[in-house]
Amino acid sequence: MKALVLFYSSFGHTHRLAQAVAEGASQVRNAVVDIKRVPEVLSEDILQALGSLETQRRLSSVPECRMEELPNYDAIFFGCPTRYGNMIGQMRMFIDSTGPLWASGALVGKICSAFTSTATQHGGQESTLLTMYTSLLHHGMIIVGLPYTFAGQSRMDEITGCSPYGASTISGGEGERWASENELEGARFQGRHVAMIADRLVSKDWRSLEP
């Protein structure tokens, strides 16, 4: 079973979640997990003005994903920060480029899952994940979230991300907060959970499940 953790990260917070998702998925027997990033579409001048140029240079060692690679995977995790309650533009543009895959049905039956980060506790985590899933449903992908069997998402003793829609973290207005151990464990749990389901599906031809 091959899984892809595909992300965009402005300041490194979503990348840290992506690493945790990959850690969890890699614990599943037979899982081969890749981490890749979506291509940058902004100029260095704009990135410098946004304060994320240094992060993008640091993440340049992570291979970029080409749209044509997606059908090679059985499960794909999509992760990015929010922008006004929606996915960030770099992820939006990458998904918008997958029209040829939609036309051929290349992603129908693939497992998908999503994770995100926001600056504040109520910064649009759930709406961002839901809007990502809307696009993926158009591809015929099968959504798997973060079930309540991950008890950490119900904690009341600390401020924390994570919801049934997927793992998430809160970065703070200045990016000063990094994912807590609870949030990282939610990402690992999601990685394992999705990879196990994908492995079970791959063990059969999913088309045999059709009526």
Give 10-residue mean pLDDT values along the chain (211 residues). 97 97 96 97 94 94 97 98 95 97 96 97 94 97 97 94 97 92 98 96 66 52
Tokens of 16: 């840290």
- H or E element at residue 83: strand 75-83
Nearest to 164 by CA among 140, 184, 190: 190
What is this structure's pTM?
0.95
Q: What residues make up the domain containing 95?
A: 2-209
As for how many domains the chain has, the answer is 1
Whole-angstrom distance, CA of residue 116 vs CA of residue 119: 11
Residues paired with 33 in a beta bridge: 3
CATH at 114: 3.40.50.360
